[in-house]
Structure 1
Amino acid sequence: MKIEGTSALVTGGASGLGAATARMLAREGAKVTVVDRNEGGAIDLAKEIGGHGLAVDVTSSELVWAAFNVASEAFGVPRIVVNCAGIGGASRIVGRDGVMPLSDFEKVIRVNLIGTFNVMRIAAHQISLTDGPTGCKGVIINTASVAAFEGQIGQAAYAASKGGIVSMALPAARELARFAIRVNTIAPGIFRTPLLDGLPEEAQDALARTITGPVRLGEPEEYAHTVKYMVENDYLNGEVIRLDAATRLPPK
């Protein structure tokens, strides 16, 4: 599948992994729609790369449908869709202040897992109606985390949400293969994102020392490079790639 001339949509595209991905796709010649809850950030990045920026909550069916309609009118149906939208949050199931509020768990699952599924299902429907190449009409790339495999104490909600994304990869790929749509997942380790950039330098250095090698934080451009590989390799389907420098998270 070629990136050049293809319509693409990136969620969580205003910063971090999503912004690096949007920039990469634009450099490779795609027409990119950047969606994010941060409307100003999405619009600013879209102006930078010659794309289109929209304010979208990925948990809203109406807003996601609208985003795909706007993208389709501007650039054609997005046949490259990358889900980077998500939230963090750490809370013990039973902590000093008592039991974890159920609403906290539900929020993380809703944004990370249900939001990803919401975008994936609408993207798949839209792509399935196109007359794209028979070999590969489109590709959907979701973002999980190494926490899906070894979540730390306090990450029950986050690990569950990312584990769900990992588990969706194969059944979604199997189901959507009849439409010539591929589904892949990236499970990043500890990356330099706005969340980590807000930590003191000593804290960032301490995190970097936990990484096996190379001993440093991952760069968003390395995530974007993996997206490029997943788009261009038509034989890669239903796969989950850990992008973590061989890191395995300790219990805490």
Structure 2
Amino acid sequence: MDINGASAIVTGGASGIGAACVRGLAAKGATVLIADLQADKGEKLAAEVGGYFVPVDVTDTGQIEEAVVKATELGPLRAVVNSAGIGWAQRTVGKDGEFASAHNLDVYKKVIAINLIGTFDMVRLAATAMSRNEPLASGERGAIVNMASVAAFDGQIGQAAYSSSKGGVVGMTLPVARDLAAVGVRVNTVAPGLIDTPIYGEGEASEAFKAKLGQSVLFPHRLGVPEELASMVVELITNSYMNAEVVRVDGGIRMPPK
């Protein structure tokens, strides 16, 4: 699918994996709308790639809808990448046997609200806008890529909330792709492994920690870089025969319990 001259949306596009996806889509000729809460980084990146920044909290349906409308004003909306998300680590029960020390339920709901419900909310609204597009010669009207994680399959101790949210993203891939086939919109999911993003910090200690972490990757023995994820995202958007698939991009890692 050719996205040159089309518009695209990347949630969580101001930094990390999302920012790499923004650059990858822009390199293909798309006008990219960055939907994020980090205004300073988002506006700087938008200026760099000739795109636009819109502040979006993915738990706010109104803000998502405004972003979709803005994107359609920039050109036919043909590509969406859902990269916004948060992590959390807490065991399901505490050590003292008290109800109060069990996993924080509000935090669990928040992770699900952002990572899973926020993803689906963007999918349903963006796909609605895509359904109005004139179909390309292939019959396509658009393509969506959602971001899951290897934690959807290999969730570690303390990852109940995060793994639940990402498992939900994996689980929606096939049924949503089946739904959207009727309007010519493809849906795929990427499940990243250990990726070198700002979450690991900076400095000598951080680099040493990342190097040690990378030894657990089957091959190559290192963390992945955002551009390697973005390359797969762009492929899933532009390759017209990729649909309803979940692709692990993880160097072959299978996460241990902890």
Which residue of 138, 163, 177 maps to 2:167?
163
Report 1:66-215 matches (<5 A): 66-73=66-73, 75-96=74-95, 98-133=101-136, 135-198=139-202, 200-215=206-221
CA distance in 1, matches of 2:240, 2:28: 17
CA distance in 1, matches of 2:199, 2:44: 20
TM (norm. structure 1) is: 0.97
Aligned to 1:228: 234
Partner deviation per Cα, 1:117-162 (whole Å, 9 max, x = no partner)? 0110101110011213252110000000000001000000000000
CA distance in 1, matches of 2:55, 2:22: 15
Aligned residues: 251
Moved over 6 A (4+): none
Asked if the contact 1:2–1:232 (Cα under 8 Å) also holds between the matched residues in 2, the reply is yes
TM-superposed CA distance for 1:197, in Å, is 3.4
CA distance in 2, matches of 1:196, 1:6: 34
TM-superposed CA distance for 1:96, in Å, is 4.0
Asked if the contact 1:142–1:165 (Cα under 8 Å) also holds between the matched residues in 2, the reply is yes
- SS in structure 2 of the partner of residue 152 of structure 1: coil
- SS in structure 2 of the partner of residue 226 of structure 1: helix
- SS in structure 1 of the partner of residue 146 of structure 2: strand
Which moved further from structure 2: 163-172 or 29-38?
Answer: 29-38
Q: Which amino acid aligns with 2:51?
A: G
5+ residue gaps in structure 2?
none
Q: Which amino acid aligns with 1:62?
A: G
CA distance in 2, matches of 1:106, 1:233: 35
Partner deviation per Cα, 1:77-100 (whole Å, 9 max, x = no partner)? 421000000001111111347211
Q: Which amino acid aligns with 1:17?
A: I
TM-superposed CA distance for 1:22, in Å, is 0.3
TM-superposed CA distance for 1:232, in Å, is 1.6
TM-superposed CA distance for 1:69, in Å, is 1.2
Aligned to 1:36: 36
Which moved further from structure 2: 21-30 or 136-145?
Answer: 21-30
CA distance in 1, matches of 2:42, 2:60: 17
Asked if 1:217 corresponds to 2:223, the answer is yes
TM (norm. structure 2) is: 0.94
Asked if the contact 1:68–1:77 (Cα under 8 Å) also holds between the matched residues in 2, the reply is no
Asked if 1:239 corresponds to 2:245, the answer is yes
Asked if the contact 1:211–1:246 (Cα under 8 Å) also holds between the matched residues in 2, the reply is yes
- SS in structure 1 of the partner of residue 23 of structure 2: helix
Q: Which amino acid aligns with 2:35?
A: V
CA distance in 1, matches of 2:30, 2:5: 5
CA RMSD, Structure 1 to Structure 2 (Å): 1.2
Asked if the contact 2:5–2:75 (Cα under 8 Å) also holds between the matched residues in 1, the reply is no
CA distance in 2, matches of 1:108, 1:96: 23
Task: Work out the percentage of aligned pairs sharing the same amino acid.
Answer: 49
CA distance in 1, matches of 2:70, 2:237: 22
CA distance in 2, matches of 1:215, 1:175: 39
Asked if the contact 1:83–1:141 (Cα under 8 Å) also holds between the matched residues in 2, the reply is yes
Aligned to 1:20: 20
